[in-house]
């Protein structure tokens, strides 16, 4: 049973192709990251998965009842205070004022908000706090599918780590599926069970990476070692336009590095390309 099935979805903006057709199936509770450089069409993929884009090519079916989403910007309503912003998804689901405020406040508490903060408007919140509100808003509806469009890209590494941890904890609690797009390999390795690397313009699926353990079982050290391993892969370097690494005898990956299963996809001979 797939939470999200993307079959042969490709997209053009006018005459310009942004994304070659690709397939992606997300099982319930699974976490997948789409990793790629800017302009490879990964935002388009997420927009389509969220139902914000008309799908002209291929098919996207979503079996998720409750959809939580985070964008690159926090996208908070500037005229609503933090609590009302967190409660927005609950309001959309028709919950009464009292109940949605209670649930939003409970979620805000888990996100580390003090009760006083909840009365503040977004203009009075720091960037980190705004992202936290956006995360709490997405999680407050107890989603079965979370869609993330590099939401932590503008934060410093400490804040990023903290919000990622909150997201991992809540995902473990709720058991929701997660599809994230990012250009940060470390973030992808921290949050996702499985990685798809997109590259080139128009974007296509280059390879699939499956680390030995799911995201929940990886330690911080595993993530850093995997990150180093990933950055050294020729295919990944090519996807991001990095120059090839000079070959030295001592540069072999350390024997202790966690294993990654790699599947490479051939360049599209015809228009259709699957991964």
Partner 1 sequence: MLQRLLAAWIAWLWSGCSAAAGLALLLAAWQIGAEALGPLLLPTPLETFGRIAGLMAEGALWPELANTTRRVLSGFSLAIGIGVVLGVAAGLSPAGALLARPLITVLLGMPPIAWLVLALLWLGSGDGTTVFTITVAALPVVFGAALQGVRTMDAPLSSMARAFGLPWHLRVLDVGLPHLFAWLFPAAITALGTCWKVAVMAELLASSDGIGAALADARSQLDTTAALAWVVCVLLALLLIEYGLLEPVKREVERWREPAR
List residues binding partner 1 (CB under 8 A). Answer: 47, 50-52, 67, 69, 71, 73, 75, 77-81, 88-89, 91-93, 120-124, 137, 141, 147
> Which of residues 21 and 74 has its CB atom nearest to partner 1 in the complex?
74
Nearest distance, CB of residue 133 and partner 1, angstroms? 12
73 versus 201: smaller Cβ distance to partner 1: 73
Give least dist CB 125 to partner 1, A. Answer: 9
| Nearest distance, CB of residue 77 and partner 1, angstroms | 6
CB of 26 to partner 1, least distance (A): 17
Specify the residue, 78 or 243, whose C-beta has the smaller distance to partner 1.
78
Contacts of 264 (CB under 8 A, 6+ apart): 206, 207, 235
Q: Which is nearer to partner 1, 31 or 81 (CB)?
A: 81
Shortest gap between Cβ of 52 and partner 1 (angstroms)? 5
How would you list the strands of the sheet with 67-70, edge to edge?
A: 67-70, 145-149, 177-182, 31-35, 194-199, 204-211, 260-264
Q: Which is nearer to partner 1, 88 or 206 (CB)?
A: 88
**In angstroms, what is the minimal distance from the CB of 12 to partner 1?**
20
Between 91 and 237, CB nearer to partner 1: 91
As measured in angstroms, the least distance from the Cβ of 114 to partner 1 is 14
Residue closer to partner 1 (CB basis): 20 or 152:
152
Length of the chain: 275
What phi-psi label fits residue 241: left (phi over 0), alpha (psi between -120 and 50 degrees) or beta? Answer: left
Q: Contact, 23 vs 66, CB < 8 A?
A: no
């Amino acid at each position: 049973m797939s939470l999200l099935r993307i079959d042969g979805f490709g997209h053009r903006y006018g005459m310009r192709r942004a994304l070659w057709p690709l397939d992606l199936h997300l099982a319930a509770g699974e976490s997948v990251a789409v990793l790629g450089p800017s302009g490879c069409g990964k935002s388009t993929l997420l927009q389509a998965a969220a139902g914000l884009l008309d799908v002209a090519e291929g098919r996207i079916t979503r079996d998720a009842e409750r959809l939580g989403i985070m964008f690159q910007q926090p996208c908070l309503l500037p005229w609503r205070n933090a609590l009302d912003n967190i409660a927005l998804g609950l309001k959309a689901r028709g919950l009464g004022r009292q109940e949605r405020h209670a649930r939003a406040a409970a979620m805000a508490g888990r996100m580390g908000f003090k009760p006083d903060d909840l009365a503040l408007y977004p203009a009075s919140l720091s960037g980190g706090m705004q992202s936290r509100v956006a995360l709490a808003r997405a999680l407050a509806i107890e989603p079965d599918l979370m869609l993330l469009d590099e939401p932590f890209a503008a934060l410093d590494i400490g804040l990023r780590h903290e919000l990622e941890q909150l997201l991992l904890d809540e995902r473990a609690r709720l058991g929701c599926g997660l599809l994230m797009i990012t250009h940060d390999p470390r973030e992808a390795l921290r949050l996702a069970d499985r990685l798809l690397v997109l590259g080139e313009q128009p974007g296509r699926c280059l390879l699939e990476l499956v680390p030995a353990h799911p995201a929940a079982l990886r330690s911080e050290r595993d993530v850093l070692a995997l990150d180093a391993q990933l950055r050294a892969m020729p295919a990944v370097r090519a996807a991001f336009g990095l120059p090839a690494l000079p070959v030295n005898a001592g540069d072999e990956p350390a024997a202790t590095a966690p294993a990654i299963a790699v599947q490479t996809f051939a360049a599209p001979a015809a228009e259709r390309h699957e991964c």
